Amino acid sequence: MAQLWGGRFTKATDRTVCDFNASIRFDRRLFHEDIEGSMAHVTMLARQKILTERERDEILKGLSGIREDVDNGKLDIDETCEDIHSFVEAELIRRIGDTGKKMHTGRSRNDQVALDMRLYTRKHVIRADGLLRELLTVILAVMEENLGTYMPGFTHLQKAQPTTLAHHYGAYFEMFRRDRQRMADIYRRMNYCPLGAGALAGTTYPLDREYTASLMGFAGPTQNSMDSVSDRDYLIEFLSALSTVMMHLSRFSEEIIIWNSNEYQFVEIDDAYSTGSSIMPQKKNPDVAELIRGKTGRVYGALMALLTTMKGIPLAYNKDMQEDKELTFDAIDTVEDCLTLFAGMLRTMRFRKERMAASAMNGFTNATDAADYLVGKGVPFRDAHGIIGRLVLYCVEKKTSIDRLSLEELQGISDKFEEDIYDAVSLETCVEKRLTIGGPGQEAMKAVIGKHRAYLEEGTLRDSE
Ligand code: ARG
C-alpha cells in the first residue's frame, strides 16, 4: 500500500522500518474517530469555501460508505497501511478519485491523531464515569441493608473498634465518588479541539476552528497550535485517575480476599465469581479479586511509561508520542473490565453476619469505650487508658472478655465500675453511640446515605455529551 509521503524519497523504506514505524495494528481502534474528525474537517472546509459543496458531499458520501463497509464487515482495514489515517485516505481516493485527495487540505496527521485520540479518550472518560456510578449503586445498596450489621474495624489488621458493614462500605463509596470527580475534572480540561493546529504552526487557510470544535461537541478550540499537537497531559491525567481507581479496587479486593479466607469467613463469594483448583477438590478461590489486585500493576505501568516517554520530548510533535496509544488502550480495557467484574462480584457476594458480629465481640474492640466509661465517672482519660490496659491483660490471662467479667472482678481493678458498665461496652452501644458526622452509628449513617442517594440521582458525564 502506498505511503502518504513518497515524493521526496528515492528509495523504498526498509521492510523492518515499515513494520517498526507502522501503528495501524493498534490505531485501527481510532477508525470511527478518524472518520468523524474528517467529516467535521471537510464540512468546515466547504463552509469556508476552501472546498466546493459538491466536493464536500462527495467526500462525506465516500467516508460514510467506508464506515458502513468496515462496520458490516464488507471491507477489512488494510494492515499494510502505515496508520489508520493513511488507510482511510487511500480508501477514499480509491473510491472517489481526485476529490479524495483534497480531504487533507489544511490538516496534518499531527493534529488529526491528536483529535482522534482525544475523541476516543473522551468517550472512555465518560464510560469510566458510568461504570463507577454503577459500582457506587451496588455499594449503596449494601450500605442501606447493613446499617446494623456489626463487624470489627481494623487498624494494622488488628481488631480496633467495632463498626458496621454499612460504614466500612461507606469508606469505599467516598473513594469511588472522588474517582468520578476526577473523571469530571479531566473531561472539563481536555474537552478542547486540537484540529486546525496543522503540523505545528497552524495554516494559512482560513479555517474556522470554532466551528469544527462545535461540530464535535468540544467546548472550543485549543489556543496554541504547538501545544495542540504535542499535549498528552490529558492522557497522563486519565492514566493517573485510572491508576487511582485500580488502587481503590485493589484495596477492596484485598479485603474481600481476607474476608473470604477460611480463617475469617466474613463473606462468601458467589460460585459464579469463584474458580476451582485442578488438584485440590475443596478449593474455591477468589481469582477475580486477585486478578483485579494484580492488574493494578499494568495500569500503574502505563502511567509510568507515558510519563517517561513524554519527559524528554522537545516541541512539537515527535514520533515518540505514538507510544501513547497501546498504553492507554490497554489501561482503558483493563479498568473497564475490572470495574464491571468487581461490581458483579460485589452484587452477588453473601455476608456471614453472625461471624462478623462474633468477631466484633471478641478482641477487645470495646476497650476504648470501657476507657470512655471511666472518663464519664470522673477518671482522667490517660489514667482510664492505663486501668483498661490492665483490665485487658487480666482478661487475656483469664481467656475472657471485658463484658463477661463479674462486677466484683471489675471493681477489683477500679472502684469506679458500676452495673451500667455492661451496657456501656455492649456492641450495640459501642457502635450506635458513635454519632459524629462520618461515624458508624445508624442515625449518622442514615444522614450520609440520604446524601449519597441524591448524589447518584445527579446527572452523569454522559449527559454532557
Ligand atoms: N501514527 C502517528 C501517531 O500516532 C500519527 C501521526 C504521524 N505524524 C507524523 N508526523 N509522522 O502519532
pLDDT at 124: 98
Ramachandran region of residue 315, left (φ > 0), alpha (ψ -120 to 50) or beta? beta
Structure-model confidence comparison of residues 461 and 134, the more confident one: 134
Distance 219 CA to ligand 1 centre (A): 25
Among protein residues, the one with the nearest Cα to ligand 1's atom 12 is: 322
What is the average per-residue pLDDT within 36-55?
A: 98
For 314-351, the pLDDT digits (tens) are: 999 999 999 999 999 999 999 999 999 999 999 999 99
Q: Is 260 in the pocket of ligand 1 (CB under 6 A)?
A: no
CA distance 195 to 34: 12
Query: What is the 286 CA–ligand 1 centroid distance (Å)?
Result: 43
Q: For residue 272, is the peptide bond before it cis, meaning its omega torsion is within 30 degrees of 0? A: no
Question: Does ligand 1 lie within 6 Å of residue 321's CB atom?
Answer: yes
Q: Is any ligand 1 atom within 6 A of the Cβ of residue 110?
A: yes
Whose CA is closest to 171, among 245, 248, 247, 243?
A: 248
Render pLDDT for 59-114 as a digit per residue (tens, 0 to 9): 999 999 999 999 999 999 999 999 999 999 999 999 999 999 999 999 999 999 99
Q: Which of 20, 23, 108, 118 to mutate to test the pocket of ligand 1 (most atoms within 8 A of CB)?
A: 23
- β-pairing, 220-221 vs 192-193, is parallel
Q: Residue 279: which pLDDT band, with cuts at 50, 70 and 90?
A: confident
C-beta of 113 in contact with ligand 1 (< 6 A): yes
**HEC-encoded secondary structure of the chain:** CCCCCHHHCCCCCCHHHHHHHCCHHHHHHHHHHHHHHHHHHHHHHHHCCCCCHHHHHHHHHHHHHHHHHHHCCCCCCCCCCCCHHHHHHHHHHHHHHHHHHHCCCCCCHHHHHHHHHHHHHHHHHHHHHHHHHHHHHHHHHHHHHCCCCEEEEEECCEEEEEEEHHHHHHHHHHHHHHHHHHHHHHHHHHCEECCCCCCCCCCCCCCCHHHHHHHCCCCEECCCHHHHHHCCHHHHHHHHHHHHHHHHHHHHHHHHHHHCCCCCCCEECCHHHCECCCCCCCCCECHHHHHHHHHHHHHHHHHHHHHHHHCCCCCCCCHHHHHHHHHHHHHHHHHHHHHHHHHHHHHHCEECHHHHHHHHHCCCCCHHHHHHHHHHCCCCHHHHHHHHHHHHHHHHHHCCCHHHCCHHHHHHHCCCCCCCHHHHCCHHHHHHCCCCCCCCCHHHHHHHHHHHHHHHHCCCHHHHC
Average pLDDT over all residues of the chain: 96
Predicted structure pTM score: 0.94
Find the 110 Cα to ligand 1 centroid distance in Å.
6
pLDDT of residue 97: 98
The span from the CA of 158 to the CA of 365, in Å, is: 10
Q: Is the CB of residue 230 below 6 angstroms from any atom belonging to ligand 1?
A: no
Catalytic residues: 156, 277
Atom of ligand 1 minimally distant from the CA of 317 = 10
Looking at residue 451, its pLDDT comes to 97
Of 103, 117, 114, 111, residue with least CA distance to 43: 103
Q: Mind listing the pLDDT tens digit for each residue in 393-406?
A: 999 999 999 999 99
Q: Does the pLDDT value for residue 280 go beyond 90?
A: no
pLDDT, tens only, 408-421: 999 999 999 999 99
Question: What residue's CA is closest to ligand 1, atom 10?
Answer: 110
More confidently predicted of 14 and 4? 14
Which atom of ligand 1 sits closest to the CA of residue 319?
12
Q: How far is the CA of 310 from the centre of ligand 1 (A)?
A: 15
Instruction: Name the residue at shortest CA distance from atom 3 of ligand 1.
Output: 322
pLDDT in tens, 264-273: 999 999 999 9
- Which has more pLDDT, 463 or 285? 285
pLDDT greater than 80 at residue 214: yes
Q: Which three cell numbers stand for residue 443?
A: 442515625
Determine the residue of 27, 84, 109 to mutate for testing ligand 1's pocket, defined as the one with the most ligand atoms within 8 A of the Cβ atom: 109
Higher-scoring residue by pLDDT: 402, 6: 402
Would you state the pLDDT for residue 1? Answer: 58
- Report how far ligand 1's centroid is from the alpha carbon of 120 (Å): 16
All cell numbers assigned to 48: 469556508
Pocket test residue of 108, 322, 323, 324 for ligand 1, highest count of atoms within 8 A of CB: 322
Q: How confident is the model at residue 2 (pLDDT cuts 50, 70, 90)?
A: low
| 17 contacts 99 by C-beta, under 8 angstroms | no
Percent of the chain residues past pLDDT 90, beyond the cut: 93
User: How confident is the model over 136-174, as pLDDT tens digits?
Assistant: 999 999 999 999 999 999 999 999 999 999 999 999 999
Q: Whose CA is nearest to atom 11 of ligand 1?
A: 319
